[in-house]
Amino acid sequence: MEKKSRKKFLELEKEDVSPKLDIIFVGDNEASETFIEEKREAAERIGFQTEVEKFPETVGEKKVLDEIESANKASDIDGVLIQLPLPEQIDENRLFEALDSDKDVDGLTPKNMGKTMRGNPETLPGAVEAVDRILEKELGENGFEGLEVTIINNSNLIGRPLSMVLSEKGATVTLCNRKTEDLEKHTKKADVVVTATGRRGVLEPDMVREDSIVIDAGYSLGKGDIEDKKAMAEKTTFCGVPGGIGPLTVAITMKNLLQCYRNQ
């Protein structure tokens, strides 16, 4: 994926173009800092530019909205990424409502989410497209019909858009959240389980079917949601952390930045 982005960049370089990504980061979440650094390094490798606008944990919502408005208007900024999660005093929906959809690298503005809901996504969050690509490689393009999928995450960044994408392909999707009772009941019946909570030990090998597909998309200080990776790999087709969807997610973010450049 990154090689494809590099090839596309070389084509752009002939036009003296280097797409620029503005990353808006609020607070001091260590996992977020890691993600941002990975994106900056990937951008540098393929000749793209990045700029990080960092705000303290206690920043008021208006200051962040002002930065989004400034980025929307800036002719030298091609894409904007609002790093999640955000502190509780900031309304995530307001930020994405304010963001120009043509500069939305994660596909989370109401316009872009609406396209995904209607089965015609233009830009998907990197982790969502990464999971979809991994499953498509494992199952084939027509392997989703009738598939039982359980997703342990109901966020706008992963769970909800992923459920839309997989449902559109014919899968039956169950979304689980922190209040889900008897999680094992939902994971045991699934052909595919995707977990992305950032909480260690949320999914154990005895909670899934043998020969199912398990994708760990969680991240916390270099580790995923699944502690016993060896046992999970012996029982299932397993994609874990580190590695796993991470590098692919970053590469897709670069691809999305290219798309945002073309949208301008």
Q: Do residues 96 and 147 both lie within one domain?
A: no
Distance CA 16, CA 8 (A): 13
The rounded distance, in Å, linking the Cα atoms of 126 and 216 is 15
Q: Give the tens place of pLDDT for each residue, 174-190.
A: 999 989 999 999 999 99
Verify that 239 and 137 share a domain, yes or no: yes
If asked whether residues 66 and 154 sit together in one domain, one would say no
Is 55 within the bounds of a domain?
yes
Residues 236 and 160 in one domain: yes
User: Bridge-partner residues for 172, per DSSP?
Assistant: 148
Q: Provide the domain limits for residue 168.
A: 126-246
* Confidence at residue 14, expressed as pLDDT on a 0 to 100 scale: 44
250/125 Cα distance (integer angstroms): 10
pLDDT of the residue at 6: 47
16 band by pLDDT with thresholds 50, 70 and 90: low
- Residue 111 domain-assigned (yes or no): no
- The enclosing domain of 200 has a CATH number of 3.40.50.720
Residues 62-91: pLDDT tens digits? Answer: 999 999 999 999 999 999 999 999 999 999
Q: What DSSP string runs through 7-37?
A: HHHHHHHTTT---EEEEEEES--HHHHHHHH
pTM over 0.75: yes
Considering the domain architecture, whether residues 181 and 231 belong to the same structural domain is answered as yes
Answer yes or no: do 130 and 242 share one domain: yes
How large a percentage of the chain has pLDDT more than 70? Answer: 93
- Contact between 21 and 257 under an 8 Å Cβ cutoff? The reply is yes
